[in-house]
Structure 1
Amino acid sequence: MNILLSSFEWHQLLQPQFYIEHGGLWVLLFIVFAETGLFVGFFLPGDSLLFVAGIYSNMLMHSFIDTQNSFINLVLLIILISLAGILGNATGYWFGRKVGPAMYNWKDNFIFKQHYLQQAHDFYEKHGGGAIIFARFVPIVRTFAPIVAGIVNMHQKKFTFFNIIGCVAWVITMVAGGHYLDKFFIETYQFDIKKHLEIIVLVIVLVTTAPVLIKLFFGKKNKQQ
């Protein structure tokens, strides 16, 4: 523990491999849950964490149940992460139903920003029920989308349907993408992408956050005009 603390640097909290290497499967599942189940989880790595989890799928499952089969390990990992994500969204939805309306009166602070909530609301209004699916692929928005769904009293069965579809699609895309891309580069080019995770994670972050950044930039520009 002392060795870990002595070598710890705060910027590591933004690196998905840090959670994989030091936290393992249970920390991974908690983060996936917290990103939507606890509104303060918007700053946690989402897409990049799942992508890296796919790369380390065998290592992660070894601490839970080692099937000695790479494909089965991958499928079980996808199931566990999907369940954590579904429960997280369901918790966010319940939170929105209970106390969500009061959030519009909260003041901005280090953790909570009104414009995050407004972005999720606008996203929901534009895409309807499909927003629950699309939001899974958009950082920050996916944290507040289930809360907004609860605030506007979206029908629970309808929400549950879109929640399951969106979460499973998100997890399969990210986890399987990481797993098979790593396998492809090793088998085809003998290139280990684990040694270049910083660059890969940076690319994922840029791609997934681009819609949010574009909306913020053009939104402010339109307001000024």
Structure 2
Amino acid sequence: MLQKVVDTLLSVPPAIALLIIAILVFGEAALFFGFVLPGETAVVYGGVLADAGKVSVLLVLGVVFVAAVIGDSVGFEVGRVLGPRLVRAPILRNHPERIEQAQAYLRRRGGRAVVMGRFTAFLRAVMPGLAGASRMRYRRFLVFNVIGGVMWGSACVLLGYFAAHSIGTITHALGVTSGVIVAVIAIGVAWAWHRRTRDV
């Protein structure tokens, strides 16, 4: 499915490609698309489109920033309204351990977890909703959401733009990087839990 999206982005008119990118980035957190189609690959290919001269790189960056911030804000609102019921939603209840790790990371790191979560597909999909469910103040969430969106969007778009001819290597590296970040978070959560239980 992901390859079909990539092929579509490279074959359709630029305006349609930008719309697809915006929908995927928005839908990652707002509609939990991230469980099926990680938006970062589409964003990288947006940079490739810019490198090919089909669209302005600034326009791609703008579309990604806006879609990321609005999508995460919708995800935050979904979490705020649904509260604890969110983790029992059909799409999330199959990942109880990962959800618990994400919640523990959010409790410990707060806003920084929102920023770091942007760089991992799973966390990118669930962190906004979990932040809303935890009753984090929206203004605080928005600040870190914007920071994370700008950092992540710039990194992915510019990767595609400056290294378009090595795009297969780049998308593979993004997947590896996301896996490393998840592993680091899991180790940190386990270490914090160990310290807590030892001190009790």
Give the TM-score normalised by the residue count of structure 2.
Answer: 0.79
Read off the aligned partner of 1:124 and give its amino acid letter: L
Q: Which of 94, 97, 104 does residue 122 from structure 1 map onto?
A: 104
Counterpart check, 1:57 vs 2:70: no
Q: What corresponds to 2:173 in structure 1?
A: 203
Read off the aligned partner of 1:145 and give its amino acid letter: M
**Rg comparison, structure with higher value:** 1
Give yes or no for contact 2:35–2:122 (8 Å, CA) kept in 1: yes
Pairing of 1:20-35 with structure 2 (within 5 A): 20-21=9-10, 24-35=17-28
Q: Which of 206, 212, 216 does residue 182 from structure 2 map onto?
A: 212
Instruction: Provide the secondary structure at the position in 2 that maps to 1:144.
Output: helix
Query: Mind listing any 5+ residue stretches in structure 1 that lack a counterpart?
Result: 1-11, 63-72, 183-191
Deviation at 1:218, TM superposition (A): 9.7
Query: Mind listing any 5+ residue stretches in structure 2 that lack a counterpart?
Result: 195-200
Read off the aligned partner of 2:7 and give its amino acid letter: F
Deviation at 1:113, TM superposition (A): 2.5
Structure 1 147/21 Cα, relative in aligned 2: closer, same or farther at 3 Å? same
When the two chains are superposed, the root-mean-square deviation of aligned CA atoms in Å is: 2.9
Structure 1 164/119 Cα, relative in aligned 2: closer, same or farther at 3 Å? same
Give the TM-score normalised by the residue count of structure 1.
Answer: 0.71
Pairing of 1:41-190 with structure 2 (within 5 A): 41-57=34-50, 62=55, 73-106=56-89, 112-182=94-164
Counterpart check, 1:36 vs 2:18: no
Cα deviation 1:161-218 (Å, max 9, x = unaligned): 1111111111011111221233xxxxxxxxx33xxx3343222211222222566699
Cα distance in 2 for partners of 1:181, 1:199 equals 9
Give yes or no for contact 1:36–1:42 (8 Å, CA) kept in 2: no
Work out the number of aligned pairs and report it.
188
Give yes or no for contact 1:14–1:44 (8 Å, CA) kept in 2: no
Cα distance in 1 for partners of 2:4, 2:186 equals 24
Sequence identity of aligned pairs in percent?
23
